[in-house]
Amino acid sequence: MISIPGRIPIHIHPLFWVLIILIGWLSSESLQGTAIWAGVIFVSVLIHEYGHALAALVCRQEAEINLIGLGGMTRRQGPPISLLQEFFIVLSGPLAGFGLYFLALKGTHVFANTPYHGTYYAFQAAAWVNLYWTILNLLPILPLDGGNLLRIILERLFGLRGVKIALLISIVLGSIFGLFFIFVQAIFAGAIFFMLAFESFQTWSQVRNLRSHDADVELQQLLRDAQADLEQGREQEAMDKLVRIRDQTKEGVLFIFAMELIARLDAQQGQLKQAYETLLPLEKKLSPEYLRLLHQLAYRLEEWEAALKIGDRAYRISHSVETAILNAIVYAILGKAKPSVGWLRCAIQSGFSQLNEIVKSREFDAIRATPEFQELISRK
């Protein structure tokens, strides 16, 4: 890692050099051409990031430039800024790119008849890079600058819902461009756009349950206080705070966190039915830990069909040995030997080593004499 100190620190990862040299070689297939292309790409990316960083300084934020992977990233920190300032900072990168394009274009005219062909070639490459890469960067696909500009506009118009819309647009357009480039046999470009679409999908999965009140500082602090109460054994105080959060939110991430903790408290106090009914409507939004709790509650309440459905989902999300064993037990209770044995095999593959003990339990009596069960026992 190369680090250059200054008002705007610059950090250059070794992989960045590898990639720009590789792009230079693929673009020219000569040592001189590789050197020119690598230099052009380095300067172009750096100027682009300086556009972001200098705009951040204007908005009284600290900035540092990181050149990594296929491009650069400007990290910022400081006091909160408005969406208009955010728009200005994001737009400054592409504007710097277009400025460098016009300078490079001027250079191609100046050096068109130069006896040293390499200078003209460098300006020509710089013009090409800064025009086409800047245009691509302005596509409304996150995390490209165009995607961030669209996100800021939609957030200004629709709030948090606008952010989600921007992510959905990014997923769709990223996939479309990925398919297009694959179709024209530009595999590398297609893979990049599919990667951007997948990254947007992951972000959308994380924010889709967010609501405006999830940013409420007082509610966030109330949740932290409730968690501290739980750690100190003050269960009633924690419950009172969690109920307040539940009643003030009704939906969103804070609501889900509160409901999970309320269900945990109810389960610890033996109110299994109440805990089960708290978590069941939130099944598809629960964290893996609480999905497993819901699975256990369904089993203990003898809600067999629900237990199987929840258990299948829980195991797909988190390959837990306990989930596989519980699924095997429920199928055995229902007299279904084949799926029960299948889940036992899943548990064994996940590292379960106490099969001889678990199969002695009475829950497996209904399938004990079946060929599938006997074969599993004999092999073990």
Indicate if the alpha-carbon torsion angle 364, 366, 369, 374 is positive or negative: negative
Pairing of strands 2-4, 10-12: antiparallel
Work out the average pLDDT over 77-83.
Answer: 82
pLDDT tens, position by position, 258-316: 999 999 999 999 999 999 999 999 998 888 899 999 999 999 999 999 999 999 999 98
Q: Are 165 and 142 in contact (CB under 8 A)?
A: no
Of 173, 180, 187, 185, residue with least CA distance to 138? 173
- Residues in contact with 109: Cβ distance below 8 Å, sequence separation at least 6, in sequence order: none
Query: 76: helix, coil or strand?
Result: strand
Chain-centre distance for alpha carbon 339: 34
Tallying the residues shown for the chain, one arrives at 380
Indicate if the alpha-carbon torsion angle 348, 350, 351, 355 is positive or negative: negative
Pairing of strands 62-68, 10-12: parallel
Side chain identity, residue 247: D
Pairing of strands 62-68, 71-77: antiparallel
Structure confidence at residue 380 (pLDDT): 55
pLDDT tens, position by position, 158-176: 877 888 899 999 999 999 9
Structure confidence at residue 116 (pLDDT): 53
pLDDT tens, position by position, 192-201: 899 899 988 8
DSSP string, 28-75: HSSHHHHHHHHHHHHHHHHHHHHHHHHHHHHTT-EEEEEEETTEEEEE
Q: Which long-range contacts (CB under 8 A, 24 or more apart) does 290-293 make?
A: 290/260, 290/263, 290/264, 291/317, 291/318, 292/318, 292/320, 292/322, 292/323, 293/263, 293/264, 293/267
Q: How far is CA 371 from CA 338, 368, 377, in A?
A: 9, 9, 10
Is the model's pLDDT at 145 over the cut of 90? yes
Q: Which long-range contacts (CB under 8 A, 24 or more apart) does 349-352 make?
A: 350/319, 350/320, 350/321, 350/324, 351/321, 352/321, 352/324, 352/325
E strand spans, 109-220: none
Indicate if the alpha-carbon torsion angle 138, 144, 149, 154 is positive or negative: positive
* Alpha-carbon gap, residue 158 to 249, rounded angstroms: 19
328 falls in which pLDDT band (50, 70, 90)? very high
Q: Are 134 and 91 in contact (CB under 8 A)?
A: no
